[in-house]
Amino acid sequence: MSNKGQNITIQVRLIEAKLMSVFLAQIQTIGRRFIVSGNKMHENGSTRKIGSYA
């Protein structure tokens, strides 16, 4: 019975690790999107192309 309990805790920890890695990956992609959109806005502001916003 104790062996079965250990296996369950190991599985739970593996699932938690997977969720954390997915969570961190999503944070990184969201951060990159913000940086990219910020750079695009900066470029649009510097070139002052009104048509680029449409």
Q: 4-41 burial, b for 16+ CB within 10 Å, e for fewer?
A: eeeeeeeeeeeeeeeeeeeeeeeeeeeeeeeeeeeeee
Taking the domains of the chain in order of start, what are their residue ranges?
A: 1-47
For residues 39 and 32, the answer to whether their CB atoms sit within 8 Å is: no
Instruction: Output the average pLDDT for the chain.
Output: 79
Q: Which residues contact 44 (CB under 8 A, 6 or more apart)?
A: 52, 53
Q: And the tokens for 35?
A: 């940086």
pLDDT tens per residue, range 18-41: 999 999 999 999 888 887 777 776
Task: Flag whether the pTM goes above 0.75.
Answer: no
